[in-house]
Amino acid sequence: MIDWTTARVCVTGGSGFLGTAVTAELRRRGARELFVPRRADYDLRTADGIRRCLEDARPEIIIHLAAVVGGIGANQRHPGSFFYDNLMMGVQLIEASRRAGVRKFVAVGTICAYPKYTPVPFREEALWDGYPEETNAPYGLAKKMMLVQLQAYRQEYDFHGIYLLPVNLYGPHDNFDPASSHVIPAMIRKMIDAREAGAPTVTLWGDGSQTREFLYSDDCARGIVQAAERYDGTEPINLGSGREIAIRDLAELIARLVGYPGEIVWDTAKPNGQPRRCLDVSRAAEWLHWRAEVDFEDGLRRTIAWWEAQRAASAAGSAAE
């Protein structure tokens, strides 16, 4: 068991979307010595940036959340940089952590690591049964290499690292940039903008038949911290809600929650991505004593309220200038 009140913890990506929830959960559990490296100060794609980070943080525990991420469009535009940046961060950070004597390394991977046609629900044993969905395979494979490295390092060096596979996340502090956002923030922003503009239609990618599972960021943060506390094995663990929803149904739900009355148009020339995503979360329940708690519709309402507040604050700031 970890005593968070005395442990020195480094959370890479700790100022980002998931990182904000993870650092809040750690503080709730009494953590006092938290180090969050900022991108402007430490480039974790480089050996020098990692070296300086570890020298300054002197961590006993690392929770590695930092990643270069985006939706389908961003993955299609930047497959090379998504592969290189994520691979370099993971490989070099794990090696430097081993050399620095880090006691435990928590690697947070991605659902994109699973094969394109994984049987539903996704079981961790199926992780190597095929190639990932093409639009995000470079990102998924780069993050998947951390699992290989951690298993190899445990075997050779007795380095204690664990690997977690969160499903698609959503919640406050998510990325709402239209160029790089994932599906839920992208839909929320599009529909609110259309509502405000009185636009009769909103156009979304694909045909809406694909399914996804979503996990609220606070639930995921709790799972990550409990995994750090309770788990020290070689096998990956899924973190998810166990609830699958078709994207078409998701769009209609978000339209209702934001009060958008217009028509949803599907651009079938754009890719759907992986056909289905839904996780088997029995390992997390058994090994971590963890389950998702936030109701999906309630989580969407909280996310929408946060974004509406951000928009209002931005508008107020612009008006005051």
What is the identity of the amino acid at 32?
R
Q: What is the DSSP string of 188-225?
A: HHHHHHHHHHT-SEEEEES-S--EEEEEEHHHHHHHHH
Please answer whether residues 101 and 159 qualify as being in contact, where contact means their C-beta atoms are separated by less than 8 angstroms: no
**Per-residue confidence in pLDDT tens, the chain, 321 aa:** 799 999 999 999 999 999 999 999 999 999 999 999 999 999 999 999 999 999 999 999 999 999 987 777 777 888 899 999 999 999 999 999 999 999 999 999 999 999 999 999 999 999 999 999 998 899 999 999 999 999 999 999 999 999 999 999 999 999 999 888 889 999 999 999 999 999 999 999 899 999 999 999 999 999 999 999 999 999 999 999 999 999 999 999 999 999 999 999 999 998 888 888 899 999 999 999 999 999 999 999 999 999 999 998 887 776 666
State the fold for domain 8-174+214-243+276-294.
Rossmann fold (3.40.50)
What is the identity of the amino acid at 186?
A
Strand partners, 239: 166
Tell me if residue 114 is catalytic.
Answer: no
Which token pair is 114? 């699973």
CA–CA gap between residue 310 and residue 233 (Å, rounded)? 41
Could you say which of 84, 114, 131, 139 is catalytic?
A: 139
pLDDT at residue 317, rounded to an integer: 74
pLDDT at residue 144, rounded to an integer: 97
Domain boundaries, the chain: 8-174+214-243+276-294
| pTM for the model | 0.93
Report the 10 Å Cβ neighbour count for 101: 11
Task: Report helix, strand or coil for 267.
Answer: strand
Q: What is the DSSP string of 137-194?
A: HHHHHHHHHHHHHHHHHHHHH---EEEEEE-EEE-TT----TTT--HHHHHHHHHHHH
pLDDT at residue 197, rounded to an integer: 96
DSSP H helices in the chain: 17-28, 47-57, 72-77, 79-100, 137-157, 183-197, 217-230, 247-258, 282-283, 296-320
